[in-house]
Structure 1
Amino acid sequence: MYSTLYKNEKNLFTIKEVTESILKKEKLPSHFLLDEEAVNYDFLNRGFQVNDLAKSIRDINFNGRFTIGVIGEWGHGKTTLINNCIYKLNSPQYLLFQFNPWMYGSTSKLFEAFFNQMPNEVFPHNIRNLKLIKAIVELITKHDYKIFDTMGIDELNNYKRILSTNLTRSGKKIVIIIDNLDRLNSDTLISLLGMIYNYFDIKNMIFILSYDQSAVNKILKDNGIKEGYLDKIVQKEIDVSIIDYASLSDKYVMTMSALTEYYLSDVLDQSNLEYLVGEVKKFALYLAKQQLSLRDFKRYLNSMILPYLQESPRLLNTIDYYIISYIHMFYPNSYKTIYQRKEDLLDNKIDSFIDEFDKPCHP
C-alpha cells in the first residue's frame, strides 16, 4: 500500500510531484490541488527553445538594445520557458531584472517602480538619482507615445548616459524580463513599449517580453497604431503557441491514468480497472490532440476531476464523467444542449441534435 508522503499535509503539488509520488507508492493527502504556477524545469521538452533563448542572450553583440519576444496564448508555458532560461543564465555575468508591470495601478506608478527597481549596480539609487527618476517619469507620462518620437530631453539623456557608462564599466549584460504584457491596459502598454523603444537603446541591455501576440496587436490597432509596430521593437521571437504533441500526450496520459489508478484501484477489480485506464488514456490523447494548454489541463483536473475522485460515492461511470465534465468546462453551450435533451441522448437519438453542439465536441 501507500506510505505517507507529507506529514505536514502539504496540499498543493506540481504534476511532476503527483505522478512521481504515485509511482513510488507514496500516499497523497485526502484532498489536494495541482499548482498552476510556472516551474523552473523543462516539463514540455522545450530544451531547444530554452537553449535558443539563452544562447541569444549570451552571444548577442548589438550596438543598442536587443529585444526578444516570447509569444503564445495564456497557459502555453511562456513563463516556464523564461524561468528555464534564467536558470541557465545563473552567472555573475548577467544582471537579471524581473518586472511585473500589471502590479501597478497607474502609468506614472509603473514607471517610477521600474526605474526604482533598476539594479543598483547599473543605476545607483542615491538622492540625486531619485530626483532624476521623478523628473524622467514626469516627462514620460506627459509625452504622447502614439507619436513615438525620440525626445532630446537633458534628464533622459543623462539617465541613458549613466546606464551606458555603468554597464560598460561592469562588463555585464542587463536582462530585463517583463512578463504578461497583454494584461496591461492600453495606455500603460503603449507607454511601456514607447519607453523601451525610445529610452533604452543602450548596448548590453536585453529585454525579454512575454505576451499573447494577437492580444497586444489588437490593443495597438484599437489605438490607431499601425500593424507591425512591434516589429520595430522586437528583433527576435520565440513562439510557444504550438505545444509538441508527443510531450503533451505523454504528460496527460501519465497524469490522468495515474490519478485514476490511485483512487480506483481499491474499488474496481483488475480487469475493469485495466479497461477504464485504457479508456482514460484514449481521452487524454484526445485532450493533447486538441492542444489543451497545460494550465487549462490543470484547471480541468482541479475543478472537475479531483473533486470527483476524492469523494464517494461516484454516481457516474468514470470515463463518462471525465468527458461530460470536459464539455461542461470548455463548451458550456454544448453542455446545456446535452442537459436539456438528455432523454434523447439516453435513447441513443444523438444524430437528431448533434448539429446543435459546438463543432469541437462532435468527436
Structure 2
Amino acid sequence: MDRCRPDFAIRLIERIKHFFDIKNIVFVLVMDKTQFSKVVCHNYGYDEKLGEEYLDKFIDFKVSLLPINKSLHNELVTIPVLKKLFEDVGEFSDDIVFIFYKVLDKYISPRDMRRKINLYALLKTGNVKKDMFLIISIISGPNDVIKKFRLLTSEIDQFIQVHKLSSQEIETYFKDYLSLRVIEFLDIFNKLKNIESTTYAYDGGIDHKQNLILDIYSKCSINKISRLEDFPKQHQDYLNAYLVEDLESQDDEW
C-alpha cells in the first residue's frame, strides 16, 4: 500500500472503514505505518502524534514484521531456489548457479534477484565459461569481474588446502554437499592454479606465464582479447549494446 499514490491510499482506507465495515469481513493492510503517518500529516496538517492517532481509527490491531538482516542473504538465497529460478529461464548449468550463489556478497531482494536472472537469460551466450563471467558482470558490474572471480578461486583454494582435498574430492564435495556438478569452473580453476604454481625460471618465462593466463581468460571473454585489461571492457560493451539504461536504474518491470 505504501507504494500507491498517497492520496489514493488515504481514500482507500477511508472507504474500507466507512463502506465495508461488515461483520466477519477482515481487511489486511500491508504498509509502512511510519511513512504512511507522515503522508497523513502532510495531507491534513496534523503533527506526527495525530497522524498516528488518525491511522488507529482504521486499524484494530497490528503485526510488525521483523526487519530483514541483510547480512544473512545466504539464508534467503539458497541453491535450490536459484536452481529453480535458472531452470525457469532455460538455464540448467550448475556452474552458473554456483557462480551466482558465491559472488552474491550482499542482500538482494527477490524481485532484484529475478530481474538479474531474467537479464542473464536475455544476454547469455550459450558458452558456460563465458556466461560464468557474464553473470558476475551482471551482479557486481563489469569492472569487478576479474577481481570477483579471483576472490572466488582464492576462497576455493583455501578450502581445499584446509581440508586437504584432491581435485576429485572437491568435485565430490560440490556434488554431495551442494548438489551441484561444477565442471567448467573447476576446469578454469585448476588450469589457473597449475599456471600460478609453476616456476617459469628462464628468459621470457614471466611473459609466457602471463600469456597462458591471458589465453584462459580470452576463452572466457565475449570476444578474443589481446590484453587482460580488455576483459572488463568486453563485458561492459556487451552489456551496453543490449541495455538502454544502466543496470542500477532499470525499471522494476524486469
Shorter-chain TM-score bucket reads 0.3 to 0.5
TM-score, length of structure 2 as denominator length: 0.39
Which structure shows the bigger proportion of residues in strand conformation? Answer: 1
Which structure shows the bigger proportion of residues in helix conformation? Answer: 2
- Higher normalized contact order (CA 8 Å, seq sep 6+, divided by chain length): 1
